[in-house]
Amino acid sequence: MEGLMGIKPFTRWINYPEIRIVRPLLTCSKEDLQRLCSERGLKWVEDLSNHTPFCVRNRVRDVLKRRPGLIEAALQLHADLYNTGEIVRARGEQMMANVIKPVS
């Protein structure tokens, strides 16, 4: 389920959990970011992997472009999966806290 939830706005680096990764532009549209770059005199750089059909995310984007009604359903599914994942994660932490007691 973790992979279906998409990129989170805040995560911790797996190898260094004390490092928090923040993605402040995640909710911005591509058009808004391109406009911001243009206004600031910055060059827009496109990741070449965004155009290859070998990446599942690109095939999904292609289907969504051709069937716009799916976008809303996909966004709702994403929100539902994210919320479910958060509930499951929190409940798992509660259960582990009850099972694992510190040794004194």
Please say if the pLDDT value at position 5 is more than 50. yes
Among residues of the chain, what percentage have pLDDT more than 90? 17
Give the position of tokens 């992997």.
49
pLDDT at residue 1 in the model? 45
**Token pair of 23, please?**
């993605």
DSSP 8-state code for residue 46 = -
When the pLDDT of each residue in the chain is averaged and rounded to a whole number, the result is 84
Among residues of the chain, what percentage have pLDDT more than 70? 90
Category of 41 on φ-ψ map: left (φ > 0), alpha (ψ -120 to 50) or beta: left
pTM for this prediction? 0.47
